[in-house]
Amino acid sequence: MPRPGKNSYSDQKPPYSYISLTAMAIQSSSEKMLPLSDIYKFIMDRFPYYRENTQRWQNSLRHNLSFNDCFIKIPRRPDQPGKGSFWALHPDCGDMFENGSFLRRRKRFKVLRAEHLASKNHQMIHYFHNQHNQTKLGLASSEGATMAGIGRLPHFQPYNINGSQSTGFRHPFAIENIIGRDYKGVMAGGLPLASMMHHFGYPVPSQLSNMVSSMWPHVGMMDSMTGMAVPQDYGHFGVPMKTICHASGQTIPAVPVPIKPTASLPSVSAIPSLAVNPSSMCPSQTTQAGVAVSLLAQSSASHPETKGTMLHSVLVHS
């Protein structure tokens, strides 16, 4: 990577693959699906590098959308006139990048043929249309998830039901998770940033997020609570950071939980720090964490293999 301080980084190529960039764009949308033109726009808005050679990278991006099973095409409804379809993330593609590199996945996400047909052409469409309707109706998230049959889909939490990201969960592809993601279980919370930097050849989140904020200041900022980068627009719960938890004026250390499930990972109920004490948290954090833990417990019961992933976004008051 070029050294900071020299010229501007804004026209440097971001350290993300097209898959990452596309996923970020999709995850940034309120309905978790975007038409191609809006994906282009998201990328160009945030990464000046992609304001040039548009034909080249947009062709590549379209290739990725078609080629990779992690993206699903959602046909427009009659009340959504326009060109092209919407693109969304496959619910099960959440941990493709669990090795921490957003340039290269640990494995290509591939759905089984039968699932491919069913899931890409029916179930997902059904879900997204349901989600849209429930968003309009303001149904509770768990209710909506059940109705849409998405409760069976472990990685895909129904964000933005009720018009806000109220569950406290963030899809692993959410831009703030991609940019400011925990690295192989490193605890960002009480560790001096400088000491973390010595451990990895590739930037750990603090490095990466510092780099990102210096290269692309319009993308994100450092989260004072976690040392992780978050976009300027959102905190970890999809609301401006100021509104999250500063009632007492003090910063509350947050402990990102390793995204990768480990053999030693205790059950949710066995994690002392997850025994959330509502009185010790600000209201929004209480609600968010409560819902998160509750959903997590639900999901873990039926999908224990996803526990680690689900835990990733739960911020724990230490």
Interface residues with DNA (CB under 7 A)?
A: 16-19, 35-37, 40, 55-57, 59-60, 62-68, 73, 81-85, 87, 101, 103-108
Structure tokens of 129? 């249309």
- CB nearer DNA, residue 66 or residue 243: 66
Output the smallest distance, CB 162 to DNA, in A. Answer: 28
Task: Output the smallest distance, CB 268 to DNA, in A.
Answer: 29
Both tokens of residue 200? Answer: 């990895």
- Of the two residues 63 and 126, which places its CB atom closer to DNA in the complex? 63
Closer to DNA at the Cβ: 73 or 246? 73
Exposure string for 141-166, b = 16+ CB within 10 A, e = fewer: bbebbeebebbebbbbbbbbbbeebb
- Least distance to DNA, CB of residue 186, Å: 18
Kindly list the distances between the CA atom of residue 180 and the CA atoms of 38, 57, 109, 209, 219, in Å, as whole numbers in the listed order.
23, 24, 22, 6, 11
Residue closer to DNA (CB basis): 166 or 309:
309
Q: State the DSSP string of 245-314.
A: S-TTS----B-PPPSS--TTPPPGGG-GGGS--GGGS-HHHHHHHHHHHHHHHHHHHH-GGGHHHHHTT-
Provide, rounded to whole angstroms, the least separation between the CB of residue 287 and DNA.
36
Shortest gap between Cβ of 105 and DNA (angstroms)?
4
Under a CB-based contact definition with an 8 Å cutoff, are residues 218 and 232 in contact? yes
- In the bound state with DNA, the residue whose beta carbon lies nearer, of 208 and 254, is 208
